Copies of this chain bind each other. A is one copy, B any other.
Amino acid sequence: MSEDPGSPKPIVTFLGPVASYTHQATLDAFSSSDFTLTPVVTIDDVFASVQSGTSHRGVVPFENSSNGSVVFTLDLFADLQHKYPDIIVCGESYIAVQHCLLGHPDSHHASHPISVSERTGGSRVGSGVIESPLSSGAVTPTSAIPNPQKPTARPVGDLARIKKLYSHPQAWGQCKIFLNAYLKGVERQDVSSTSRAAQLVAEDLTGESAAVSSVIAAKIHGLEVLARGIEDRGDNTTRFFVIRKRAEAEVGDATSVDRKEIGKDEQGEGDWKTLVSFTIDHANPGSLAHSLAVFEKYGLNLTSINTRPSGVENWNYIFFVELKGRREEGIEDGPVNKALKSLYGVCRSWRWLGSWENRLAR
């Protein structure tokens, strides 16, 4: 963490490296003129930095529209080791994900022309589909692909030289169709982010590796875009959470610093979301249903449920419920406040994990 002692700007820590999708989400929520935006290596690092007070805010991925929840983030909110007791969600951001295949220009092959049959031979390998004349040497995709979403994007250029792929594990699941069609059987290495993947490919000068990453990462690391928009679904979107440290006397309204956060809408009181986790007595029949019924009792619309292993006993779970509404400060009869109070009687333990303004445009 590089905290600049000469700057009074609050630090916002995000899952890096620079040019990651989380970086985009951070720029979406925080102005770099008001905040020092600091990349860290893991989601755990973001939580630790906010919990320790080093960072004013943190930004982490929470779920993807195609892949579902980011279980690493859920497990940090579950906090089985009691490392992050004060972390709460205070905002969200939605970033459209356009994955690209990034690599080096096809210079090696251009100087040693290989016949089409050699290059495309071995369809068992599943790569080597050629969309442009080899003699043109054009591996940079034109914008001539009118609708790359369905059936799927196609590479402009030869991928037969690609022997290794780098990306974040979630990205494989989001680009299944393209990768199965064009790079089936090619070795895959999981790395911590799509941006890190691009960096590793940039360092590999053999030209035999490629990354599933972003256009921004291509620019930063000087790579070619070998295929654009290779995700299975064109509306692929990742949702990010802004986290902060819970104050001593919770629940805080927006502070003066918060007001600098981009798009902070002081009028948007009517549309909030809340995240709550709870555990139940699994031996007690109906415990889960009773816990969930509490929210219904107070007219709270549950928008999602997630579960993770409780870490205490096999086949016991910690439940995460997201609902429309806000835990009110000082107003004990708000519906969320009342529901939380009622939870005491029916579940084993519960934790309020924050309330924030809904940013989902509908």
Residue numbers of A with Cβ under 8 A of B are 65-69, 71, 169, 172, 187-190, 235, 237, 239, 282, 285-290, 292-293, 295-296, 299-309, 314-315, 317, 319, 324, 360
Contact = CB atoms under 8 A, between A and B. Distances in A.
Contact of A360 (B293, B302, B315): B315
Contacts of A289: 292-293, 295-296, 300-302
Contacts of A285: 299, 301, 324
A296 B293 contact: yes
Copies of this chain assembled into the complex: 2
B309 A306 contact: no
Contact of A317 (B169, B187, B304, B314): B304
A314 B169 contact: no
26 contacts: A65-B314, A67-B309, A68-B71, A68-B307, A68-B309, A69-B307, A172-B190, A188-B189, A235-B314, A237-B314, A282-B303, A285-B299, A286-B296, A286-B302, A287-B301, A288-B301, A288-B302, A288-B303, A289-B295, A289-B300, A289-B301, A290-B296, A293-B293, A303-B315, A304-B307, A305-B307
Q: Which 9 A-B pairs have the closest CB atoms?
A: A289-B296, A285-B301, A65-B314, A288-B302, A292-B292, A305-B305, A289-B302, A68-B309, A68-B308
Nearest to A69: B307
A68 B65 CA distance: 19
Contacts of A190: 169, 172, 188, 190
Contacts of A290: 296
Contacts of A300: 289
A66 to B, nearest CB: 6
B309 A307 contact: no
A188 B167 CA distance: 12
A322 to B, nearest CB: 10
Given A69-B307, A289-B295, 20 more contacts: A65-B309, A66-B309, A67-B71, A67-B309, A68-B309, A188-B190, A189-B189, A235-B314, A285-B301, A286-B301, A288-B301, A289-B292, A289-B293, A289-B301, A290-B296, A293-B293, A304-B317, A305-B307, A306-B307, A315-B360
A292 B296 CA distance: 10
A286 B298 CA distance: 10
Contacts of A288: 301-303, 305
A190 B213 CA distance: 18
A254 B292 CA distance: 35
